C-alpha cells in the first residue's frame, strides 16, 4: 500500500490503534481494576466488619453452618467462602428463588460477621464486580452486542500488537532509547518502552481475551463441521467440569462441616482452605467439596477433596483429563484471570495492566503530537478530525479515571434507601465521563489537560476524606485494625491522586512546551549513528537516523 511492507504496517498500526483506542483504553483500565475486584467490592460495602484476626477455620465453618441451617433450610447446594487475602470476610452463598411471578433462581452471596455469626446488611452496590464486568460486557448494550464490539476491538488490538512488533526492526535498541521531555520523540519513546516492557503480557491478554468468546466469534467454523450435540460434547472435552450427585430426596443427618474438614487438613500441609461446596445438603447423597487456593495455572487434582457428608469418607473423584489444546486454552484463561496470583503477583498483574493502559494512552497522544505542528499552521484552525481525537483523548485518558472516582463517590454519597441504587452508581460514572468528554470542546487543549488532571488529583485525594466522613471504615481505623485490604484501597487512592498531581504539574510547568527557552541549555540525549550521545547544546535540533520511525522533516519541524 505504501512504498514497502514496513511503511504499510506503520500506517496500519497508526490507524488500527486509533479507531478504537478509546474503547481499548476503557477495556484495559477497567480490566486492570478487575484484578482487585474483590478488594474494591469490600471497600464499597463499608457495613462489613473489619478483618477478624485469628479465628480458627473450624470456628468459621461452624459459624457459617449455623447460619445456613437457619436461613438456607431446604436448599440443595450451598457454599462457604473462607476469609482470604483478597476478601477478608466470611461469606456464604446459595441460589435464592427469584421473587414470585418470575421463574428461576439467582445466586447470592451473604457476608457474615465472623464473630457474631449474623448476616451483614450491606448497601446496594455494583461493587468491583460491575466495574470489572464492564471490560468485556461493557454497559447499557445488550450482552451479545457487547461481546461482538469487544471482539472487534480486541482483534484490532491484536493487530496493533503484531504490527507494532513488525515495524520495529530494532525493537531492543529503541527500548533503551529514551529522550525525556522532548515532545514527539519523548512520546514515541514512552510508547515504545511501555509496549516492549510488557509485550508478552499485551499479546497474552489480547489473544486470551479473544479465546474467551472463541465459539461465539468463530461460530461459522463449528457450525460447518459439527451439529449441536457434538458441539456440547466438544465443550465437555475442552472444559471438563466435575460432576456431582443430585439430591435423592431422602433426608438424612449430616456431619458437621468442621469435623469433615479435619480429614482434609491431614492431606493438606497447612490451613489453606479457600471454600467449601455442599451438594445435596441434608440428604443421603450429601457430599462436600473442599477446595484450596489455586497456586498455578494448570489444574491440580490435589487442590480438591470430596467427602461424603453422612459417613465422613473421602470420595475418590474421577480426575478430569484435559486435551493438549484444552491445556493451552485453559492455561490462557488462567493467565488472563490470574486467580492463582498471590498478593505480589496480583500487584504485578495490576501494574502490567496499567502499563497496557498507558501504552494505549501514549499511542493516542502520539497521534495528535505528531500532527500538531501541521494542524496549527492551518488558516482555519485544526481539522475537525484532529480536534475530535484531541477531545476524545483528554475526555478519556483523564476523564475515565475521574468517572471511576465518581463511581466510588456515588457509592458513598447516594442515599442508602434509593431505588435502583446499583444502576445509579453506574449512571453517575457514565454521566461524569460524558461531561468530561464534552468539556475539552470549550477549552484549549492545554487548559483542558491541566484542569482535568488537577481535578482528578483533587477527586482522588478527597475520596479517602469523604470515606472518613461517611463511614467508620476510614484509614485511621483500618490501619488500627490492620485491615490491609481496606487501608490499601485508601492508600492507593492517595498514590493515584499524587500521580495525577504530578502529571498536572508537568503539564503546567514550562519545560514541556517546546518553544520556551527553558528547554535550551538542557542536557539532551540524541541518537547519532544509532548510539545514544549525551551532549550539551544551546539550540534544540534533532538528528534522526534513517531507521527512526519518524519522517525526518517532521521530526525537525517539531523541534525547531
Task: Provide φ and ψ at 49, rounded to 5°.
Answer: -70, 165
Query: Which residue ranges make up the site for other proteins (CB under 8 A)?
Result: 1, 5, 8-9, 11-12, 155, 158-159, 162-163, 166, 207, 210-211, 214-215, 217-218, 220-222, 224-226, 230, 233-234, 237-238, 323-326, 328-329
Nearest of 347, 300, 22, 337 to residue 204 by alpha carbon = 337
User: Min. distance of Cβ 156 from other proteins in angstroms?
Assistant: 9
- Listed in sequence order, the residues at least 6 apart from 50 whose beta carbon sits closer than 8 Å to its beta carbon are 473, 477, 478, 481, 483, 486
Helices (H), 300-444: 324-337, 343-376, 384-397, 399-413, 421-438
Q: Cβ closer to other proteins: 83 or 240? A: 240
The least distance separating other proteins from the CB of residue 332, rounded to whole angstroms, comes to 9
Element (H, E) at 475: helix 475-480
- Per residue, the 3-state secondary structure of 307-346, as one string, reads EECCCCCEECCCCCCCCHHHHHHHHHHHHHHCCCCCHHHH
Whole-number minimum distance, CB 189 to other proteins, in Å?
Answer: 25
CB nearer to other proteins: give 7 or 541. Answer: 7
By beta-carbon proximity to other proteins, the closer residue of 158 and 426 is 158
Judged by beta carbon, residue 220 or residue 270, the one nearer other proteins is 220
Nearer to other proteins, 156 or 360 (CB): 156
> In terms of CB distance, is 222 or 525 closer to other proteins?
222
CB of 222 to other proteins, least distance (A): 7
When the beta carbons of 213 and 484 are compared against other proteins, the nearer one is 213
Backbone φ, ψ for residue 506 (5° rounding): -60, -40
Q: Could you tell me where the DSSP H helices lie in 218-319? A: 219-225, 228-238, 257-267
Q: CA dist 524 to 311, 433, 508, Å?
A: 76, 38, 21
Q: Determine the angle formed by the axes of helices 199-212 and 324-337, rounding to 10 degrees.
A: 110
Bridge partners (DSSP) of residue 292 are 273
Question: Which CB atom, from 11 or from 175, has the smaller least distance to other proteins?
Answer: 11
Using the Cα atoms of residue 424, residue 426, residue 429 and residue 432 in order, give the sign of their dihedral. negative
Shortest CB 184 distance to other proteins, Å: 24
**CA–CA dist 484, 370 (Å, integer):** 44
**Comparison of 214 and 418: residue with beta carbon closer to other proteins:** 214
| Least distance in angstroms from the C-beta of 356 to other proteins | 18
3-class secondary-structure state, position 449: helix
Stated as kind and residue range, the H or E segment containing 497 is helix 484-508
Measured CA to CA, the distance from residue 437 to residue 235 in angstroms comes to: 43
Minimum CB–partner distance for residue 201 and other proteins (Å)? 17
CA-based max dimension of the chain = 90
CA distance 119 to 112: 4
Q: Is 227 helix (H, G, I), strand (E, B) or coil?
A: coil
Question: Whole-number minimum distance, CB 330 to other proteins, in Å?
Answer: 11
CB 225, min distance to other proteins, A: 6
Report the nearest approach of other proteins to the CB of residue 15 (Å): 9
User: 220 or 534, CB closer to other proteins?
Assistant: 220
SS3 state at 283: strand
Amino acid at each position: 500500500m505504501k512504498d514497502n511492507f514496513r511503511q504499510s504496517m506503520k500506517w496500519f498500526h497508526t490507524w488500527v490503534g486509533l479507531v478504537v483506542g478509546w474503547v481499548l483504553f476503557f477495556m484495559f483500565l477497567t480490566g486492570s481494576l478487575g484484578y482487585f475486584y474483590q478488594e474494591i467490592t469490600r471497600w464499597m460495602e463499608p457495613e462489613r466488619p473489619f478483618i477478624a484476626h485469628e479465628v480458627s477455620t473450624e470456628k468459621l465453618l461452624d459459624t457459617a453452618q449455623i447460619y445456613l441451617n437457619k436461613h438456607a433450610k431446604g436448599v440443595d447446594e450451598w457454599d462457604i467462602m473462607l476469609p482470604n487475602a483478597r476478601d477478608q470476610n466470611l461469606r456464604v452463598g446459595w441460589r435464592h428463588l427469584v421473587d414470585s411471578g418470575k421463574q428461576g433462581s439467582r445466586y447470592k452471596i451473604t457476608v457474615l460477621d465472623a464473630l457474631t455469626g449474623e448476616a451483614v446488611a450491606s448497601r446496594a452496590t455494583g461493587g468491583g464486580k460491575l466495574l470489572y464486568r464492564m471490560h468485556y460486557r461493557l454497559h447499557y448494550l445488550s450482552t451479545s452486542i457487547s461481546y461482538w464490539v469487544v471482539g472487534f476491538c480486541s482483534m484490532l488490538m491484536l493487530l496493533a500488537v503484531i504490527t507494532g512488533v513488525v515495524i520495529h526492526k530494532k525493537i531492543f535498541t529503541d527500548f533503551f532509547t529514551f529522550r525525556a521531555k522532548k515532545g514527539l520523540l519523548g512520546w514515541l519513546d514512552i510508547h515504545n518502552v511501555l509496549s516492549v516492557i510488557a509485550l508478552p503480557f499485551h499479546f497474552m491478554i489480547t489473544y486470551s481475551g479473544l479465546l474467551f468468546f472463541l465459539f461465539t466469534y468463530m461460530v461459522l467454523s463449528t457450525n460447518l463441521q459439527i451439529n449441536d450435540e457434538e458441539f456440547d460434547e466438544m465443550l465437555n472435552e475442552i472444559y471438563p467440569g466435575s460432576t456431582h450427585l443430585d439430591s435423592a430426596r431422602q433426608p438424612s443427618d449430616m456431619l458437621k462441616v468442621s469435623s469433615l474438614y479435619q480429614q482434609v487438613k491431614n492431606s493438606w500441609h497447612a490451613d489453606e482452605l479457600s471454600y467449601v461446596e455442599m451438594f445435596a445438603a441434608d440428604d443421603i447423597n450429601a457430599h462436600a467439596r473442599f477446595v484450596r487456593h489455586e497456586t498455578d495455572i494448570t489444574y491440580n487434582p490435589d487442590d480438591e477433596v470430596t467427602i461424603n457428608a453422612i459417613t465422613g469418607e473421602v470420595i475418590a473423584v474421577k480426575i478430569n483429563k484435559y486435551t493438549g489444546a484444552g491445556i493451552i486454552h485453559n492455561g490462557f484463561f488462567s493467565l488472563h484471570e490470574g486467580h492463582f496470583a498471590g498478593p505480589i503477583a496480583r500487584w504485578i498483574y495490576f501494574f502490567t495492566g496499567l502499563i497496557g493502559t498507558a501504552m494505549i494512552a501514549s499511542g493516542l497522544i502520539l497521534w495528535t503530537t505528531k500532527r500538531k505542528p501541521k494542524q496549527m499552521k492551518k488558516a482555519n484552525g485544526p481539522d475537525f478530525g484532529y480536534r475530535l481525537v484531541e477531545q476524545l483523548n483528554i475526555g478519556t485518558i483523564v476523564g475515565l479515571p475521574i468517572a471511576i472516582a465518581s463511581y466510588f463517590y456515588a457509592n458513598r454519597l447516594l442515599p442508602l434507601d434509593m431505588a435502583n441504587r446499583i444502576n445509579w452508581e453506574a449512571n453517575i460514572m457514565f454521566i461524569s465521563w460524558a461531561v468530561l468528554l464534552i468539556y475539552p470542546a470549550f477549552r484549549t487543549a492545554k487548559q483542558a489537560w491541566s484542569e482535568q488532571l488537577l481535578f482528578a488529583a483533587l477527586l482522588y485525594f478527597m475520596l479517602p476524606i469523604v470515606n472518613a466522613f461517611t463511614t467508620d471504615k476510614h484509614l485511621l481505623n483500618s490501619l488500627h485494625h490492620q485491615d490491609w485490604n481496606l487501608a490499601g484501597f485508601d492508600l492507593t487512592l492517595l498514590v493515584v491522586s499524587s500521580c495525577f498531581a504530578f502529571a498536572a504539574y508537568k503539564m503546567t510547568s514550562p519545560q514541556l512546551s517546546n518553544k520556551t527557552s527553558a528547554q535550551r541549555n538542557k542536557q539532551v540525549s540524541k541518537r547519532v549513528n544509532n548510539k545514544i550521545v549525551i551532549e550539551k547544546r544551546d539550540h534544540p535540533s534533532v538528528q534522526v537516523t534513517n531507521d527512526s520511525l519518524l519522517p525526518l522533516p517532521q521530526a525537525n519541524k517539531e523541534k525547531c
